[in-house]
Structure 1
């Protein structure tokens, strides 16, 4: 039994839940309210990525097998390449299959990602974490009045007492809690979130540990802009948690969803204003519109920090595995991993690429991602596009390259035009062009 304790910081109880209906009128699109505050950036010296593919991500897909989890864990390790950038990976422990997957990944002996868990807050699950030798676990702590009043049927004080009692249970078992503050971007920050965080900090001090706080933007309602009211302001939220709550950057982790197309920008904003960790899944799999995509944050990291040791070429192999193993469709326009992300069909772009690749390719995608520039031919490619396709497909270097006036290019252009005059609507495939090339060389 947990001894009841009067905690130093109290929730502000209210008779009716504060649903912030002026920001979230349910029959309208949510509103952004501005207050004019300016927040200084405070990017930590060290930032990193955490992974929840096997917990939050897997919930949105058919269950992974033990072998599939093992292979995906290998890919995370290979991309990290010993840097510790992909610091942790989070697992369920509910079923025997979940536990087998954890044991199989533990047997690999990797330093990174480290294995953490996510459990229900009960004595059996705490014992399970301890018996498996996992040192850290996530605990769900819903923060908004939507959850406290409407789902849990509690008031704020009793809800806070419940959460703090759970944390004490974990600490008594020698387990480091990671507190998942669910729906924080619709929660009463000063009336519940900040008092809860301050009490969590006190419990950590008593136990001699730094408890981690995961800021969960459950519906993707956080915004990155300056001068926005809480609870939607990511810059102000993180600043207040650090300054008023006393939580250091290394204990702050952002967990976002993509409901409003902001998931990568919001995660980067969390880094910029003081959170050391951002939570991701492979290719952003997850509930509704998904979690923050791992590949997006790897590229964001490379833009913020100079670290050339991570192995980004493995993302391409991971994509092939994911599509083949799970029959998973990756949007062809998806940055960095989609088939078309560095493809051009426009003749004017192809002409620029043919003259100097960097004109229409912002970095060396072949070297960094093992994804060479792709040229496709269609009705808009023109002579330049066809010449660029030949040079690209045949891997011609400077002296071997064909130009727009090459007789072969003119022949192919005439044939392509005939295709579309007959009503064709699809791009010309590489196989068709290669066959034509072979016949007319």
Structure 2
């Protein structure tokens, strides 16, 4: 059994063998094996209005309420999108929170976020929220370098604010910032054990959010602490007795691990993973909510979420909020199910299932598309006509149609004369209708 008492140190433990700073961080392995132990119930929480909003121009009240509506529409009363958290520092934040509360939705539940001080906590009491996140930096990088305190001083500060919340009947959700660089047995475990004692004393379950602040967590089997996501989650359960339902993972994407790490947290006993819509957030961003929706569906199936809301929400971000989604972003980018390769287009002509990840039209209201460039060939042009005009099997155009060959001559001529960009849908539409007069009728029928 590891030593579980708080270990004060004169010098910070910065794990220089793992985090040399002037080199790329290291991944170290041990022989420990941590078994998969997925909870019976898992869910997603959201921090779009808190961590996400910090990376963008502040949202208006109207934008916050509209996004909140989309979260509710996506969840569709399943409880998969369980909670979302708000700031309380500006009048705009408070107005938006009250507007969302007045919606009366069951999900997502509304919570808040504060720093670990009594002035911030007064904001929570004044507005009448029943749960709040509390920032608790837990690595020596933060304790020594940012807070300029000892471990004992930091520990006492956190315990005091949690007891203040509990004595007021408010659920504290303790955000253990920078846990993937923290001394797990020297600081994290003693702190969390004390918080679980307070849970028992007040009869209110304290929640623990493990925060991978710099995206340093690793999901691989056998990785040593402090970077191991499985070891962190299983350790909080084993050494601190934190119930799965009181555990939450919050990650960032600095090393491209954000979705695998969140999934690993689920797989090793954490019920909740924290996300933002489109993965917006500090630096490389947070874990994308829509990504974890599809991870959830792969693990548990879809209990009734309205996945079309993902497409509607992404269009709202682009059109109304002028947020530019990278085109190849999974599930929400304009090109996520668009093919340009001729051989892929030929496969789509035969059967969409060959080169489409799933029925994107049924699940996301995003029909598979083909873009035409100098490499598309006859198959690409035929596939573009069939998908763009949504032709049924009886009316589909074959790549051997002589009219397709005429359009290909036009395409080839454009690129032979210096064109370097894909041909737009509007250009292709005009050209296709010159040769396929029946497509004009298709468009008229669809419009009516």
**TM-score, length-normalised on structure 2?**
0.95
**Contact 2:78–2:303 (CA<8 Å) still a contact in 1?**
no
Q: Classify the secondary structure of the residue corresponding to 2:329.
A: coil
Other-structure match for 2:435 = 440
Deviation at 1:325, TM superposition (A): 2.3
Distance 1:439 1:45 in 2: 58
1:381 aligned to which of 358, 368, 376: 376
Instruction: Note if 1:48 corresponds to 2:43.
Output: yes
**Contact 1:76–1:113 (CA<8 Å) still a contact in 2?**
yes
Q: Classify the secondary structure of the residue corresponding to 2:274.
A: strand
Deviations 1:25-65 (A, max 9, x none): 01000000001211100000100000000111111111111
Q: Classify the secondary structure of the residue corresponding to 2:135.
A: strand
Q: How is 1:9-408 mapped onto 2 (pairs within 5 angstroms)?
A: 10-408=5-403
Q: Classify the secondary structure of the residue corresponding to 1:88.
A: strand
Deviates more, 1:268-277 or 1:425-434: 425-434
Relative to 1, partners in 2 of residues 1:90 and 1:322: Cα closer, same or farther, differing over 3 Å? same
**Contact 1:9–1:199 (CA<8 Å) still a contact in 2?**
no
Deviation at 1:403, TM superposition (A): 1.2
Q: Classify the secondary structure of the residue corresponding to 1:338.
A: coil
Deviates more, 1:325-334 or 1:272-281: 325-334
Other-structure match for 1:5 = none
Q: Classify the secondary structure of the residue corresponding to 1:295.
A: helix
**TM-score, length-normalised on structure 1?**
0.97
Deviations 1:100-156 (A, max 9, x none): 001000110000000000123333433332232210001111000001111111111
Deviation at 1:308, TM superposition (A): 4.0
Deviations 1:327-354 (A, max 9, x none): 1110001001111110011111011011
**Contact 2:88–2:112 (CA<8 Å) still a contact in 1?**
yes
**Contact 1:36–1:226 (CA<8 Å) still a contact in 2?**
no
**Contact 1:58–1:64 (CA<8 Å) still a contact in 2?**
yes
Q: Classify the secondary structure of the residue corresponding to 1:164.
A: helix
**Contact 2:328–2:334 (CA<8 Å) still a contact in 1?**
yes
Distance 2:246 2:74 in 1: 24
**Contact 1:222–1:233 (CA<8 Å) still a contact in 2?**
yes
Relative to 1, partners in 2 of residues 1:213 and 1:285: Cα closer, same or farther, differing over 3 Å? same
Unaligned runs of 5+ in 1: 1-7
Distance 2:323 2:90 in 1: 24
Distance 1:358 1:344 in 2: 13
Count of residues paired in the alignment: 434
Distance 1:336 1:85 in 2: 18
2:406 aligned to which of 407, 411, 428: 411
Q: Classify the secondary structure of the residue corresponding to 1:244.
A: helix
Deviation at 1:9, TM superposition (A): 6.3
Cα RMSD between the aligned structures?
A: 1.2
Q: Classify the secondary structure of the residue corresponding to 2:320.
A: helix
Q: Classify the secondary structure of the residue corresponding to 2:240.
A: coil
Deviates more, 1:125-134 or 1:69-78: 125-134
Distance 1:359 1:103 in 2: 48
Unaligned runs of 5+ in 2: 437-448
Deviation at 1:239, TM superposition (A): 0.9
Deviations 1:218-259 (A, max 9, x none): 000000011111000111111111011100100000000000
**Contact 1:126–1:173 (CA<8 Å) still a contact in 2?**
no
Distance 2:301 2:10 in 1: 51
